[in-house]
Amino acid sequence: MAYGLAAGTLGLGVAQVVAGVVAPASAPLVALGAVVVDSVPPAVKDAAIATFGTHDKQVLLGGAVLIAALLSALAGWLTGRGHSIGLWLVVALGALAALAAATRRSADMLAVLPSVAGTIVGTVALARLASARRQENGDTTRRTVLEAGVIAAGGLLAVGGGQLLGRTVRNSNASRREIQLPTPASSAPSLPAGVEVGVDGMPSFRTANEDFYRIDTALVVPRLVAAEWSLRVHGMVEREVTLRYSDLVAGPLVERDLTLICVSNEVGGHLTGNARWLGLPVASVLARARPTADADMVLSKSSDGWTASTPLPVLTDARDALLAIGMNGEPLPIEHGFPVRMVVPGLYGYVSATKWVVDLEVTRFDRATAYWTTRGWSARGPVKTQSRIDVPRAGERVTAGRVAVAGIAWAQHRGIDGVEVRVDEGPWRPARLAAEASVDTWRQWVWEWDAAPGRHTLQVRAIDGTGAVQTGEEAPPPPDGATGWHTIDVDVV
């Protein structure tokens, strides 16, 4: 079994090196993992996010490594006992990985090379070690064990070298470091005094880049170079447009504070963040292309083939829908879409916030469907009015007396006009709202509670700018966002 592990490690290492040159997403485990991501129903995806949060991809890849190790060990055990099925198992796994890589959304004709190369090397290494094992005596056993150790070490070095090679060949980090963000033609308005309620434990008004949630289907982050980036605008337009990065930064850029929300966010969840974005209005780009009168949707595509369906009117109305290049005063982080991503206030990210965006196809909802729409999600995805309690935390023990209950609420492009809190299903009490930065950002709130000893249940609801009260009817995220009142229990002592 150890010989199978050694040979498998070398095969995967060689595949990783080849993938570093061809495309990191074509590495066998990544390609197979991507098939799993693409194939699971939304309920499984939501369960994974709820269980592992933003670490779901690491868990998936870790599981893939474990399965690969077990199958390699099985192949080694079979081959070492003279069963040719062990070698055929390696070939079958390699063929499966090659097929997965070839059928990826962004695959080209070279996508199968990593799996083919890794399979050949792994099969040869396993056959050699198995043959040596069957002929071994005391001296040859030591040599075979040593050879297996060298093969395994070489495989591990190859894995690391392949990852480094992928970053070097596609040097997104260097490209990002070279970016000097231009001064916007329209700067973000100054934040009003009092946008934070000043309660310990509350999130800041703006979410730091390193703390901003990341939910996408990319097991390997696409690594693009700004100088090579382009955006094609086509489909139901009078004039096809191709935009280069230099064209984008030379345009009249807009800077705005905008809140993004993932549709997978459970009631009270933390898959939401607020940042200051810099970008070119999507409307100005679409105006160059001149969509035809019967178009009603834009299908945006990521460099890895992921797609989102965005209503055309949302991209051309007065809201700040952006092709963003900056986030909180820095070029976009690579994992958040460098060099360019979409940011559209008022819609969940799965229908609007395409990272690593390279294509905008103007079309119709009755002619095209996007990645998650084909999996049963709503095609349009407007953000629902929501609120949550951040302080105190669920299950926390607090001291009797005056207790600050605080949190955030959002209703993008409608704004928040009120927040109410109640205790133990008693009457709703109005909370004090922090100052509003804009209708497209979250809003903090706080309520002073005279807490009596015992266990108590706290609930919160928001009223949006149209006067609509947040519904208490509970619904899971699929197919168009969770609803219900955030409810927590606290112990007062």
Query: What mean pLDDT do residues 118-126 have?
Result: 83
Claim to verify: residue 367 and residue 405 sit in the same structural domain? no
Mean pLDDT of 213-226: 90
* Average of per-residue pLDDT across 87-91: 84
Residue 190 lies in a domain: no
**180: in domain:** no
Check whether residue 323 and residue 364 sit in a common domain.
Answer: yes
| Amino acid 257: pLDDT | 97
Min mean pLDDT across 33-47, 266-280, 342-356, 402-416 is at 33-47
Domain boundary among 169, 201, 223: 169
CATH code of the domain in which 416 resides: 2.60.40.650
Kindly state whether residue 195 falls inside one of the protein's structural domains. no
Same domain, 28 and 128: yes
Instruction: Flag whether pLDDT at 71 surpasses 50.
Output: yes
202 is a domain residue: no
> Residues 220, 369: one domain?
yes
pLDDT score at 42: 67
pLDDT band at residue 50, thresholds of 50, 70 and 90? low
In the predicted model, what is the mean pLDDT of residues 175-190?
Answer: 95
pLDDT band at 138 (very low <50, low <70, confident <90, very high): very low
Average pLDDT over residues 419-447: 98
Whether pLDDT at 407 is above 70 = yes
More confidently predicted of 224 and 34: 224
Higher pLDDT residue, 437 or 2?
437
pLDDT attached to residue 142:
63
Q: Residue 133 pLDDT more than 80?
A: no
Same domain assignment for residues 233 and 363: yes
Last residue of a domain, one of 169, 199, 234: 169
359 occurs within a structural domain: yes
Across the range 173-179, mean pLDDT stands at 92
User: Residues 298, 405: one domain?
Assistant: no
Q: Which residue has the higher pLDDT, 99 or 58?
A: 99
Q: How confident is the model at residue 121 (pLDDT cuts 50, 70, 90)?
A: confident
User: Any idea which of 116-125, 145-154, 281-290, 368-377 has the lowest mean pLDDT?
Assistant: 145-154
Q: Is residue 478 part of a domain?
A: yes
pLDDT, mean of residues 368-394: 95
Please give the pLDDT value at position 157. 77
Residue by residue, what is the 3-state secondary structure of the chain?
CHHHHHHHHHHHHHHHHHHHHHCHHHCHHHHHHHHHHHHCCHHHHHHHHHHHHHHHHHHHHHHHHHHHHHHHHHHHHHHHCCCCHHHHHHHHHHHHHHHHHHCCCCCCCCCCHHHHHHHHHHHHHHHHHHHHHHCCCHHHHHHHHHHHHHHHHHHHHHHHHHHHHHHHHCCHHHHHHHCCCCCCCECCCCCCCCCCCCCCCCCCCCCCHHHCCCCCCCCCCCCCCHHHCEEEEEECECCCEEEEHHHHHHCCCEEEEEEEECCCCCCCCCCEEEEEEEEEEHHHHHHHHCECCCCCEEEEEECCCCEEEEEHHHHHCCCCCEEEEEECCEECCHHHCCCCEEECCCECHHHCCCCCEEEEEEECCCCCCCCCHHHCCCCCCECCCEEEEEECCCCCEECCEEEEEEEEEECCCCCEEEEEEEECCCCCEECEECCCCCCCCCEEEEEEEEECCEEEEEEEEEEECCCCECCCCCECCCCCCCECCEEEEEEEC
Average pLDDT over residues 337-359: 97
On whether both 149 and 6 belong to a single domain, the answer is yes
Instruction: Give the highest mean pLDDT range of 55-69, 217-231, 314-328.
Output: 314-328
> Do 393 and 321 fall into the same domain?
no
Looking at the fold, whether 300 and 233 belong to one and the same domain comes out as yes
Q: Indicate if the pLDDT at residue 169 is higher than 60.
A: no
Total of domains in the chain: 3
* pLDDT at site 363: 98
Structural domain boundaries enclosing 50: 2-169
pLDDT of 343 reads 98
Asked if residue 418 and residue 348 are part of one domain, the reply reads no
Using 50, 70 and 90 to split pLDDT, how confident is the model at 196? very high
Q: Are residues 28 and 152 in the same domain?
A: yes
pLDDT surpasses 50 at 79: yes
Give tens-digit pLDDT for 232-247.
999 999 999 999 999 9
Averaged pLDDT score across all residues of the chain: 89
Q: What is the mean pLDDT of residues 414-439?
A: 97
In a domain, 192, yes or no: no
Q: Classify residue 183: in a domain, yes or no.
A: no
Q: Is pLDDT larger for residue 87 or for residue 55?
A: 87
Among candidate residues 119, 153, 169, the one where a domain is terminated: 169
Segment 215-236 mean pLDDT: 93
pLDDT (tens digit per residue) in 293-328: 999 999 999 999 999 999 999 999 989 999 999 999
Residues 324 and 286 in one domain: yes
